[in-house]
């Protein structure tokens, strides 16, 4: 049972997951595929560390965004906070990619209209000729696909909050219980009804699981023995086709929340100087692609990770201090500064 929601390790976990995404991306960036990525090999091609980390991001986001609405159910204030948190850092990151990275990566001229349109939709502008000789060509920032999906979930929380569904937590639980079997059928039949729609539908249970973790936070008991059991079942399910559709939203969510409120992690305080995870996530992939462009013959996945991770975290620190925190509520910034 969570008795104090303010004592948590969310900043630490988000930075950890952002770093794991960098590690996972180091394999396709240097070798062109995930075939040698450790978790990909362990699970027979079902999951990578990057995928598991992004799934965990959505669980955390579901928890925190639902908490934000429940504590302050005002539509205008809710949207203002969400836009202020997502857009400024995103706009600056994509602008730097357009002005600095793209001219290095591609011989093509970037359309201003294309840049503006994609940025407003929280997407990366497309140039299939970018990094043409890299193992992963045509990708300037492959991580950004998840940002627009997350923002759609903010809208879903807003709608569910306005119509009163979030006050009926068993209805939310029923929605999750309805969606999961449908997802298994979709996965079994390899149905793909449009990339963005597919991403939204397949990731929604993870976000919803985070929402439920908040709505039932007073009833959920976090115990080491439960966490060990959840870990064993979850790892076992990684070898069973389609099983993670069920196990990760349930058991993965439990483990993420257990870690988020694990007292042993409190002393790390990786967010004591700010929330650097978003900026780290935004800048990591173009940094990796640039390193591959110039140093590919010398690089392997581990070397790329060891170089790109600190550079990406540094970019995240600069993004927080120079851009992101200036658009947030003063109370949010003070909360981070008070941890220092």
Please state the domain extents for the chain. Answer: 10-337
Token pair belonging to 115? 């840049």
3-state class percentages of the chain: helix first, strand second, coil last, to nearest 5: 70, 0, 30
Cβ pair 69, 211 in contact under 8 A? no
Token pair belonging to 103? 């001219």
Distance from the Cα of residue 54 to its chain's centroid: 4
Q: What pLDDT is recorded for position 332?
A: 54
DSSP string for residues in 70-121: HH---HHHHHHHHHHHHHHHHHHHHHHIIIIIHHHH-SSPPPHHHHHHHHHT
Distance CA 306, CA 321 (A): 24
Cβ pair 211, 157 in contact under 8 A? yes
Q: Which of 93, 99, 147 is nearest to 320 (CA)?
A: 93
Cβ pair 37, 49 in contact under 8 A? yes
Instruction: Give phi and psi for 251, each to the nearest 5.
Output: -75, -40
| Rounded (10°) angle between helices 253-260 and 49-71 | 70
Secondary element (H or E) of residue 275? none
Q: What pLDDT is recorded for position 191?
A: 64
Q: What pLDDT is recorded for position 268?
A: 74
Distance CA 152, CA 2 (A): 28
Q: Which of 132, 118, 137 is nearest to 196 (CA)?
A: 118
pTM: 0.93
DSSP string for residues in 163-194: TTGGG-HHHHHHHHHHHHHHHHHHHHTT--S-
Specify the DSSP class assigned to residue 339.
T
Distance CA 91, CA 80 (A): 16
Each residue's pLDDT, cut to its tens digit, for the chain (340 residues) gives: 555 567 789 999 999 999 999 999 999 999 999 999 999 998 888 899 999 999 999 999 999 999 999 999 999 999 999 999 999 999 999 999 999 999 999 998 888 888 888 998 898 888 889 999 999 999 999 999 999 999 999 999 999 999 999 999 999 999 999 999 988 888 776 666 557 777 888 899 999 999 999 999 989 989 999 999 999 999 999 888 888 889 999 999 999 999 999 988 877 777 777 899 999 999 999 999 999 999 999 999 999 999 999 999 999 999 999 999 999 865 455 455 444 4
Q: What pLDDT is recorded for position 340?
A: 44
Q: What pLDDT is recorded for position 157?
A: 96
């Amino acid at each position: 049972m969570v008795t104090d929601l303010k004592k948590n390790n969310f900043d630490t976990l988000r930075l950890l997951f952002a770093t794991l995404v960098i590690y996972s991306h180091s394999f396709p960036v240097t070798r062109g595929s995930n075939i040698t990525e450790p978790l990909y090999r362990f699970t027979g091609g079902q999951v990578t560390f990057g995928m598991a980390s992004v799934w965990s991001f959505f669980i955390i986001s579901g928890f925190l965004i639902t908490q934000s609405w429940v504590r302050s159910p005002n539509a205008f204030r809710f949207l203002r906070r969400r836009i202020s948190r997502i857009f400024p850092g995103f706009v600056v990151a994509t602008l730097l990619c357009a002005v600095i990275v793209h001219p290095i990566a591609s011989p093509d001229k970037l359309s201003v209209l294309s840049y503006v349109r994609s940025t407003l939709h929280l997407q990366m502008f497309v140039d299939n000729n970018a990094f043409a000789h890299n193992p992963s060509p045509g990708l300037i920032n492959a991580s950004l696909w998840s940002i627009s999906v997350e923002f759609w979930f903010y809208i879903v929380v807003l709608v569910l909050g306005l119509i009163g569904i979030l006050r009926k937590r068993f209805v939310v639980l029923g929605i999750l219980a309805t969606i999961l079997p449908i997802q298994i059928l979709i996965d079994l039949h390899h149905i793909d009804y449009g990339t963005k729609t597919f991403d939204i539908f397949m990731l929604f249970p993870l976000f919803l699981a985070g929402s439920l973790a908040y709505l039932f936070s007073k009833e959920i008991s976090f115990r080491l023995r439960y966490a060990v059991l959840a870990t064993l079942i979850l790892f076992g399910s990684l070898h069973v086709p389609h099983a993670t559709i069920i196990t990760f939203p349930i058991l993965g969510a439990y483990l993420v929340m257990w870690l988020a409120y694990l007292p042993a992690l409190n002393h790390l305080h990786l967010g004591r100087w700010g929330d650097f995870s978003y900026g780290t996530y935004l800048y990591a992939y173009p940094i990796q692609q640039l390193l591959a462009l110039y140093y590919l013959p010398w690089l392997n996945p581990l070397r790329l990770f060891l170089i790109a991770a600190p550079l990406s975290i540094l970019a995240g620190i600069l993004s927080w201090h120079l851009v992101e925190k200036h658009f947030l509520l003063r109370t949010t910034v003070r909360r981070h500064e008070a941890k220092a």
